[in-house]
Structure 1
């Protein structure tokens, strides 16, 4: 690293020039100042923005003469030549173009207009953030074309593009100032729970679809960039305060608040610093569905094996006749009485989620950054420290109460306009987080063991039947008898048992998660365009990452110590403009290697051509490959979820997962023991496929160990700027190989599957347990879709934006009946917004509408339909220039129709808010 740093340092020194200072103002055609205008040196990343008075100061070392590029939403892009240092530049922007003129960096790792980007890209700038109709800026992402937001809770929203969404969205990457915002253990982002403050957010860039060629593993379905404000360019004290209520049928009306402060100061031309603080607290959406997952439509009274969607603890079940057989063998029931018991499963009585979670949502974010420019130019050294702490709900295999989860990150970066070298470390701690399903299971067991409860149930059932009760009556009598004295939520006894269980990390008796996992990452990039501009723009880069999994055996099979493995990658890109800069060719190549798998090569090639006399139409086409490595959980998880054992597919993981299971009375005659040990390897090598058993023709599961997933992505697109109208349309087609997903197998407690009848006897005696394996599909998985957006700048700053998204998968389920793709995306989506940042003097408003088609949600927690829904958000705002303040009143889901974006979550109600923001540019 030292050698690389030295090389990059001297390369940067070679390009240093004397500092140039440019000042000026930006106004509209009426002479009114425009705040928040982006100002950049053409073909460079250095820039600044205007303040509330429309004034700016730009410092750069670029060689004179050069062009300054001015851009802002709702205004035309303008390029102004600068020929001398100290020049004053006064610019008038006209309201005749749209967002396609904005400059982005993410698509090619170099500044370029959205209009000529080689791939699809979406942008949210500071004006969008200020004018969002959502209660927070993260909600504004929901209005982007082609973007899905799956709402897990009030503070945890998962971003996805182009299908295959889950809350554990490992196909989508989120970067905050170049730092991967994902949890090292979970391998995915918890929304903005531990992200960035809205006061410090400069802009958001989003690349839908594959981005592996430039950004490596897991930038598979898309990547989101959240870029903060530099304290050299954005100074002073900023603050905001938001308060309001959430309203939901299940939870009622509850207050919430969100406050934040940003302090930034430029102490000299060489040194600047900033500090951010934000805190949110509210009440989460209650999940209260009692739908029976095993026998839909039947309640507890009708189904002895009832398993409610948001009822936990009722996953513990057993064949009640087998219990009777064991009791007869032990002399506790008369011989032959087991025949009075039905040959069916009976489940324990569960607890509602509302008894296991306080639904208190919290998010604390702190960060501080030191920026040093030793030569008072674009060469900069940055230290950034971030700390986030939060409480939320995460729905994965189970519903998890994330309590006081914290994550800290530290970054050191050296950069100038041509290169960067950054390294960062991410540490996390699960805090007091726990699994609500196991909380319920083990509260039941604290009160009464499974053996005692099922024994009492069987005895009471036999007695009731012997006295002439019907089977339904006997079930009701038996449950009432077995539940006598059961712990009741709200009582001191229940709370004592609850506290005991959620503080115990042993899932056989408790529910607490332990996790102190860590991630270390280094990446670098050098752009040679300042040296090779006459030929082409060329850049190279690379990255190195190390995972350290440390859950003390509660999530991973790391009971004997942390698990550690490494990944690295190298890439290069060349970009060339031809034919009067109308033709733009881009080629990229990346090589990535995990120590657990063979290396992966991911090339990308794109072509863009601008047509029309005014160069206002652009067509583009690209083909690229993408890949993602199996996640930490795909490889090393070892977790009992209640309904199944999750066992990762790394070769060195299979024998570390060892479980002990009770054997039924009939099985004891075979094994000679009341318990057996099952090793995780058996889930892959000695198990029945679930679907074959459900079909009544048990067959051995053929499950291979998981390998990296690959895809070839084809995309064509068209962009057009015509006066006040812009169009952006694209079509994509994805072909996946080795598609990663889960396959459920049934592991018998005795016998060899396919070789003898003992394994079939185990099925008959219900002496087996489901295991969730991590593997790749042999079948072809394809997906395709189209997106079209239309933006119209109307009169006096009014704008209308609308877009439509179509998404579909092509998967032959019959070719691999045990495989689940979890596409989890509506086929049709429509979004529209209408508003003006200044409809009247200092007064603005915005309306945002979203409609989603119904779709089928498929995930490890539960499968079910997500109904179609419509959502309307609205806000009005008033700016007080003298105070540099903006007051906003708004409502989310103003129509009041509650909805879900995933099966099993709480229904999303309405949110009403009022906010005031000071000095936020």
Structure 2
């Protein structure tokens, strides 16, 4: 069906449902509605003299939305939650979401390049193909999580930083309200209320590496009708230094193979948005939102490459004081993932097969696909007496996916899944100081069946300055379409002939190895059980502190197998091509693919035909032709002509199954956070996070146990993270400084247990140690306000640059070097 017809069909269904709900509820609302989650609370028209000056007490009692799906005091939140305000974004000169999320205590934000960010909370998937897949992403309550590959591409959201009111980050299990994929946590982007926006807002900035960030918005309205439209464009290039330190002969050999270095486009995104709201009365409103984006960006999964796609979303919502009915449609179209053909330079100590050579999808280089989500959900708040309140809701969702990567036939076969859910949460005020929050959610999935996720929290407010929280909850993560249906082969070419491949010893496979990624329809749902404790306090009138500790147990963790050649493929790839390389056309004689047994049978057949012709028709020219085939297939027993079977022995195939880890994984740690206001114009913030994983995580065994070929991989995560920030304003000048530190990450492989590598070719240092050095990030922003203009200049990655950061064994080799970035620009309101 035509995509436009699909969108129209689903919008019409949504309009009918919302119209029905409107007739039921519009007459019953009586109290004024306050859409507090979108109110402007920090900057108005970018004027520093209009800043709302929040005291420490105000900060300790801010209102949050995400933890309970309703507005509540942060001290009453049943989960650990951290808020990034638009004031933070303004002062720190943030121009993309990835930089903003580095402020979060307990979050792991890692970069594959200057524009690519992957985010995890209190842990990280060990799989290389996606790190962000265990965090649920929301925009104004709408899920933007991609259930094809997992996670989210930030550039596909159709948002600019200027659109964001605040970002709420819930840490820990969130499935009790949000269902599957609210696994490690939730990142909720809340946009500015278009009701409050009047006139034009224009921003434009640029810098080195081809950086462009531009956005224009216009808002208006009359009486009960409000609207906002927006357009934007972002761009950044990526500098590559692949040949640094290589000799001239090596560089020449690489250039002959088609490798290059220099600059490439790392991100370009065109964005358009529309928002309409009609106030039915002072208590109720109906809202329509839509956006479109066309983007291309560089990503660093198992194979790095350029991903382009178009994204469309439409949302229709009715809300009053107690009810909210929302339906939305997310559409991803024209997805194309072109694998990288650039040289991946790696250190000689790196033991992993995947990192040793030119990589490309085999037989082709491009992946294509589409993904659609249709969702409808309803929630209602109600009270039973003065001490007991509830929030309840239900939802239904349908996902459609079409891609040549989720079909073994490499054809566009549509895959579908659907699920429905219901949740209930109760808040009981046991006394003036104690609240109990309890609830849960039931989900039924068309593939994985039923899941129930509970949550219980005990909240104790000792006094207005001190409060405690104890909580327990579970969460689930469904396998992705990728996990279930992927069937793709990857060709890894040996570079030994160029002298660049001292590790690979592919004597049995000629010049390449084939890695086959295979999905698993029998995968089980991942499950997380989380125990948390939290404490918040005010120290005098200038300091706020909070401490959160947690202990998480993860079951059925889904991982992608490592490259471990476990069998010899049964079919020779492209027999015709092998002969053609020797100047022989065998199209009329041999099939394109043959098993080893079939080839032996053909040799026997040819030899029989030769004997028959020699006896019956000795002058037949076919005899020489058949003898040439036998000689090419069988050889003459000499080193100079060992025959096809010896020269082009069947390529090793490395099976990369998607599977559930049998062992439970344990994560534990904590986060300490503080805010200090020594003067009305200065705010200092800081946080420290500690994370430790169990040995079942850190000593992972990959391979095929049936034939005892294994890689033992030892992982040591960054255990310590530290963030510091300073915001300062003096009259019309403001500045922000953000500093981030993460301790080193290491991975060690015991190469002697698998027999894959030729240890004579290389003296492995430290047993095959792969180490990512401690990561340091410093951003500095300086701004000046003049009337309706905001001028600013920002330096990003000022301390540590020209290094690779992506801390996963495969992607480390394919990630790009991070560069110093400088951006300057202006914002204006009129």
**Alignment TM class, shorter chain as reference:** 0.7 to 0.9
Contact 1:105–1:112 (8 Å) recurs in 2: yes
Task: Describe the shift of the 1:679–1:727 C-alpha distance in structure 2 as closer, same or farther (beyond 3 A).
Answer: closer
Which protein, 1 or 2, shows the higher relative CO under an 8 Å CA cutoff with sep ≥ 6?
2
Question: How far, CA to CA, are the matches of 1:386 and 1:821 in structure 2?
Answer: 44
- Are 1:616 and 2:465 counterparts? yes
Match of 1:855 in 2: 745
CA distance, structure 2, for counterparts of residue 138 and residue 849 of structure 1: 14
Match of 1:909 in 2: 819
- 3-state SS of paired residue (1:107): coil
How far off is 1:891 after superposition?
Answer: 0.7
Counterparts in 2 of 1:45 and 1:240: CA distance versus 1, 3 Å: closer
Cα distance in 1 between the residues matched to 2:30 and 2:188: 30
**Aligned residue number for residue 709 of structure 1:** 526
Do residues 870 (structure 1) and 776 (structure 2) align? yes
- For the pair 1:148 / 2:108, whether they are aligned, the reply is yes
The answer to whether residue 711 in structure 2 is matched with residue 807 in structure 1 is no
Larger mean CA deviation between 568-577 and 764-773 belongs to 764-773
Q: Tell whether the 8 Å contact from 1:155 to 1:363 is kept in structure 2 after alignment.
A: no
**Alignment check: 8 A CA contact 1:145 1:803 kept:** yes
**Residue 573 (1) aligns with residue 425 (2):** yes
Structure 2 CA distance, aligned partners of 1:607 and 1:115? 12
Matches of 2:124 and 2:714, distance apart in 1: 5
Note the aligned Cα RMSD (angstroms).
4.0
Aligned to 2:170: 207
Structure 1: runs of 5 or more not aligned: 21-39, 56-70, 77-95, 246-253, 292-297, 303-307, 315-347, 442-488, 490-500, 645-663, 669-676, 685-702, 752-757
Q: Distance in 2 between matches of 1:186 and 1:100?
A: 38
- 1:833 corresponds to 2:793: no
Structure 2 unaligned blocks of 5 or more:
1-12, 345-357, 494-505, 572-596, 598-644, 704-711, 750-767, 807-811
Asked if 1 retains the 8 angstrom alpha-carbon contact of 2:746 and 2:770, the reply is yes
Q: Secondary structure at the residue paired with 1:16?
A: coil
Residues 848-896 of structure 1: per-residue CA shift (max 9 Å, x gap): 111111113799xx9942211222211111112xx32211122112225
1:215 shift after superposition: 0.8
Secondary structure of the residue aligned to 2:326 is: strand
Deviations 1:150-206 (A, max 9, x none): 223333322221111464421012111222223453232012443412222111111
Deviation at 1:417, TM superposition (A): 2.6
Distance 2:40 2:778 in 1: 35
- 3-state secondary structure, aligned to 1:817: strand
Distance change in 2, residues 1:411/1:825 (3 Å): farther
Structure-2 change in CA distance of 1:579 and 1:395 (3 Å): same
CA contact (8 A) 1:778 1:816 kept: no
CA contact 2:325–2:377 (8 Å) conserved in 1? yes
Aligned-partner Cα distance in 2 for 1:417–1:513: 46
Q: Report if the CA contact (8 A) 2:42-2:87 is conserved.
A: no
Shift of 1:351: 4.2
Q: Counterparts of 1:382 and 1:557 in 2: how far apart (Å)?
A: 43
State the distance in 2 between where 1:641 and 1:220 align.
30
Kept in 1: contact 2:122–2:171 (CA 8 A)? yes
In 1, Cα distance between the equivalents of 2:515 and 2:295? Answer: 37
Question: C-alpha deviations, 1:480-518, integer Å up to 9, x for none?
Answer: xxxxxxxxx9xxxxxxxxxxx99xxxx545312221222
Task: Pick one of 250, 257, 261 that aligns with 1:354.
Answer: 261
Match of 1:75 among 35, 51, 54: 54
C-alpha spacing 1:919/1:6, structure 2 compared with 1 (3 Å): closer
The equivalent of 2:569 in structure 1 is 749
Aligned-partner Cα distance in 2 for 1:865–1:408: 40
Distance 1:807 1:570 in 2: 33
TM-score by length of structure 1 reads 0.67
Structure 2 SS opposite 1:634: helix
Alignment length (residue pairs): 677
- Whether 1:400 and 2:400 are equivalent positions in the alignment is no
Matched, 1:418 2:236: no
CA distance in structure 2 between the partners assigned to 1:358 and 1:161 by the alignment: 31
Give the conservation status (yes or no) of the 8 Å contact 1:538–1:575. Answer: yes
Counterparts of 1:368-767 in structure 2, within 5 Å, are 368-373=274-279, 375-403=280-308, 405-430=309-334, 433-437=337-341, 508-529=362-383, 532=384, 534-552=386-404, 559=411, 561-580=413-432, 582-612=433-463, 615-643=464-492, 705-722=522-539, 723-744=541-562, 746-749=566-569, 767=651
Give the distance between the partners of 2:722 and 2:509, measured in 1 at CA: 56
Distance in 1 of aligned mates of 2:148 and 2:304: 17
Residues 175 and 474, structure 2, Cα contact 8 Å, conserved in 1: yes
Q: Does 1:272 align with 2:232?
A: no
Deviation at 1:238, TM superposition (A): 0.6
Q: 1:526 to 1:545 in 2, by over 3 A?
A: same
C-alpha contact (below 8 Å) 1:244/1:911 kept by paired residues: yes
More displaced, 886-895 or 209-218? Answer: 886-895
Alpha carbons 1:518, 1:547 under 8 Å: kept: yes
Q: Deviations over 1:720-754 (max 9, x none)?
A: 12311000111111111111112346344359xxx
1:732 and 1:785 in contact (8 A); partners too: yes
Q: CA–CA distance in 2 between the matches of 1:301 and 1:813?
A: 42
Structure ranking higher in strand proportion: 2
**Quick one: distance in 1 between partners of 2:783 and 2:372?**
43
The match for 1:774 among 642, 658, 663 is 658
Q: Is the 2:215–2:230 contact (alpha carbons within 8 Å) kept by the matching residues of 1?
A: yes
What is residue 785 of structure 2 aligned with on the other side? 879
In structure 2, relative to structure 1, the CA distance for the partners of 1:889 and 1:739 (3 Å cut) is: same
The reply to whether residue 114 of structure 1 matches residue 21 of structure 2 is no
* Secondary structure of residue in 2 paired with 1:140: helix
Q: Tell me by how many angstroms 1:901 deviates.
A: 2.8
TM-score by length of 2: 0.74
- 1:253-264 correspondence runs (5 A): 254-264=209-219
Local SS of the residue matching 1:259: strand
SS in 1 for 2:413: coil
**Would the aligned equivalents of 1:850 and 1:870 in 2 still touch at CA under 8 Å?**
yes
- Shift of the alpha carbon at 1:241? 1.0
SS at match of 1:605: strand
Candidates 199, 206, 211, aligned match of 1:243: 206
- Residues 806-834 of structure 1: per-residue CA shift (max 9 Å, x gap): 11110336986228999784111111112
Q: Relative to structure 1, is the Cα distance of residues 216 and 117 closer, same or farther in structure 2, using a 3 angstrom cutoff? A: same
Paired residue secondary structure (1:354): coil
Answer whether contact 1:156 1:193 (CA < 8 A) is retained.
no
Instruction: Report if aligned partners of 2:226, 2:276 keep a CA contact under 8 Å in 1.
Output: yes
Deviation sequence 1:202-233 (CA, Å, 0-9, x none): 11111122211111111101111111122212
> Which deviations, in whole Å up to 9, do the C-alpha atoms of 1:512-540 show, x marking residues without a partner?
222122222222211124xx352412111
Contact kept, 8 Å, 2:666 with 2:694, in 1: the verdict is yes
- 1:294 matched to which residue of 2? none
Report the CA distance shift for 1:913/1:768 in structure 2 as closer, same or farther (over 3 A): closer
